[in-house]
Amino acid sequence: MNGGSIDQQEMKHIWVITGPAGCGKTTVAQYLMKQLSLPYVEGDDYHSKASKHKMASNIPLTDDDRWSWLIELRKEAMKRLQSSQGVIVTCSALKHRYRDVLRVAHYENPNIQVHFIYLRADRKTLQERVANRQNHYMKKEMVNSQLDNLEEPEEEEWDAMSVDVRSTPEVVQLAALEVVKKKLAEYQHQA
């Protein structure tokens, strides 16, 4: 955690809801947005048309496809913080280096802290959920490529917390909210 001369009361928070397709990022993010009265950035809306077309055609995105998307998400989240103490962002952030791109927000502004809430699910659960989606470009077959690329947050990633999503949506939502409240309490305690 960052100490030093940063006033914890001035700290702003980017809450990135992460995980592979079908883990419930949008559902959890919308719940947190309502419960915390924070703005929300839907990561899927920031993919280029070319990237959406690739995914709809069952072609996995490359790192090169993702860099500009991740930078755009970071910039949008920081922009939303100009009028709020926090923002909710959905982003798969499958790899450690993708999460690092989002973490740059803190280096650009030390009063911003980025947090990752990783929604953990098994392959079968993800495939079933994606297969049951309506009107989404991501197809069931893409779950395997996402899991092949997945680097679950490691212990050294102190800003990443995990929530198991094998329960009901309501239980998962409450667990995610509890993670946020606990983390905010830590910052208030330091103030």
Q: What is the CATH number of the domain that holds 132?
A: 3.40.50.300
User: What pLDDT, in 10s, does the model give residues 104-132?
Assistant: 999 999 999 999 999 999 988 888 888 77
Q: Which domain holds residue 17?
A: 11-172
Count of domains for the chain? 1
Tell me the percentage of the chain whose pLDDT exceeds 70: 89
Q: Which helix (H) or strand (E) holds 41?
A: strand 40-42
152 lies in a domain? yes
Return the bridge partners of 64, or none.
Answer: none
Would you list the DSSP string of 106-129? Answer: HHH-TTEEEEEEEEE--HHHHHHH
Residue 123: partners with Cβ closer than 8 Å, 6 or more residues away:
143, 144, 147
CA distances from 97 to 63, 67, 73, 101 (A): 10, 10, 15, 6
186 lies in a domain? no
pTM for the model stands at 0.89
183 lies in a domain? no
Closest C-alpha to 16, from 149, 169, 183: 183
161 lies in a domain? yes
Closest C-alpha to 92, from 156, 36, 145: 145
181 lies in a domain? no
More confident site: 160 or 6: 160
185 lies in a domain? no
